[in-house]
Amino acid sequence: MTTGSTEGGTPFFSVVIPTYRRPDLLVQALESVTAQTFFDYEVIVNDDDTDRSARAVVESAAADRPDVRFAYHENDQAKGGSGAGWIAVALVALAAAAAAAYYLFLR
């Protein structure tokens, strides 16, 4: 799922947020990112939950902020919120979805 747009095409940077069963914290993270005064970015959420708990949060954020490009990536590989696995999976999602030259990971 990819929504929204960035004026002029490629965003300046990508904000990558790996998440695992923490929709309340994801809401806070997305609110914080979208409250910034710099708008040339995209948000990529990598969901590690088999129940896809982050999907509704991303869809809601995208509906509230159609001016921001959101991408939702379902992780079908290693599951769980701990360990270094999230880095590898987030990098795979980033390579598949990111359009920017610079990346920021929120954990």
Q: What is the pLDDT of residues 63-106, one digit of tens each?
A: 999 999 999 988 776 555 555 566 666 666 666 667 787 888 88
Edge-first strand listing for the sheet containing 69-74: 2-3, 69-74, 41-47, 13-19, 102-105
CA torsion, ordered 79, 18, 66, 12, to nearest 10 deg: -140
87 or 20, greater pLDDT: 20
- Average pLDDT for residues 24-38, to the nearest whole number? 95
Number of domains observed in the structure of the chain: 1
- What is the distance between the alpha carbons of residues 23 and 19, in angstroms, rounded to a whole number? 8
**Torsions phi, psi of 7, nearest 5?**
-60, 130
- Hey, what are 20's tokens? 């695992």
Q: For the whole model, what pTM was predicted? A: 0.80
- The pLDDT assigned to 102 comes to 83
State which residues form the domain around 26.
2-105
Query: Residues 81, 87, 91, CA angle at the centre, nearest 5°?
Result: 130
pLDDT at 39 over 80: yes
pLDDT at 5 over 60: no
Residue 64: give its domain's CATH number.
3.90.550.10
- The pLDDT assigned to 105 comes to 80
- Hey, what are 21's tokens? 């069963």
